[in-house]
Amino acid sequence: MNILSAIIVFENLHEVKRLFHWGPIIALTVIGVCSSMAILDSIIWYWPLDTTGGSINFIMLINWTVLILYNYFNAMFVGPGYISLEWKPENQQDTMYLQFCRVCKGYKAPRSHHCRKCNRCVMKMDHHCPWINNCCGHLNHAYFTSFLLLAPLGCIHAALIFIMTMYTQLYDRISFGWSSVKIDMSAARHIHNPIMPFSIAAFAATLFALGLALGTTIAVGMLFFIQMKVILRNKTSIEVWIEEKAKDRIQYYQTGEEFIFPYDLGSRWENFKQVFTWSGSPIGDGIEWPVHEKCNQYTLTIEQLKQKHDKRQRSVEYRVVEDYNGACCPLGKGLNTFFRTPCTEEPRIQLTKGETIFATRGTKWWMYGDKVLNEEQAKVGVRIRGWFPRRCVEKCHYDSANNSTSEEKKEQ
């Protein structure tokens, strides 16, 4: 019912455009191929509907498809929930503990992050998923995780159907030369007379669907375990990274602080209930959260501000010495740069010789940083950051008299 209301309400009709993206197209194609081939194999070649087992098998296949699509479309169209534009906390003094989003022109509520793809601040953002062409966050985390569980289970069932179909239909046609190996297939042969012969095309289609089913089971199953690992600790993928950086910061500066993750309620069951409920709607409004007794609502946001300040201090100024067009895998920047491009959806930025960039992280062949902009762009809130080849820049060297100028640029 939720999915129908999300599509039919006119104010949400623009959300249907999310379907026209390579992620949903591939995901729905895989679901369609595996489901349709499993149903066809069950009806035509293996386990007919006029038997009790065949009827139960057919109903289960239909149920898998319905449940998978239900959770998939809810994850896509219900969405993660967004922080209101120009949002501010009720107590104005609390703004000192929050980051300001220049795009949404408001403050980022606890656990929220700005998504470049959605161009909004997302409640309890976990990540932006290309397969649903939407963010995974507060409102759709349960739907998304349920989809990650149901898809492998449905694919396992379908894979068993594919294997048994090929095994029973090809048993009499292929001689393996193993005279000592004998398998009694009389029951399988007499269970059902196929409606149509099992042709080469049918074998190829079934084998292709089997490959899709097994690949989906492995890939999506791993994602499910990753999601459950963070849910049982009441975290998100982003918050896991924030916690790791907090420990690194404390160890690096030897501050003696003790960072306690504020949203872990100390019980896996209590953490589980924060996401999964009988109503399907998660607990909370996406702004305020139950926290550890030693923490408050702004424990994590204060840590984020410290990390942001530390990031500025550690950033290194570079000058662009070679133009770069922003290509994901540039051909003219060397074989190592081409083949070792970062495996991430984070953007690449164009570079023009003479520009200045503050780099914050990198690999041997690529770097990530913020481009220094002019005053007009800075006032408007424009921010250009992303990956670029390391060979296109060189480190700036300043004497002590110029260090203050460099620090001013970082703060800006």
Which residues have a catalytic role annotated? 129
Tokens standing for 79? 């969405």
What secondary structure does DSSP assign to 74-113, as a single string? HHHHT-S-BPPTT---SSGGGGGGS-EETTTTEEPPTT-E
- 5: CB partners within 8 A, 6+ apart: none
* 8 A C-beta contact, residue 74 and residue 67: no
Tokens standing for 164? 């048994």
In the chain, count of helices (H) and strands (E)? 12, 11
What secondary structure does DSSP assign to 28-69, as a single string? HHHHHHHHHHHHHHHHHTSS-TTSHHHHHHHHHHHHHHHHHH
Name 176's bridge partners: none
CA angle 345, 309, 114 (to 5 degrees): 35
- Distance CA(158)–CA(146), nearest Å, equals 18
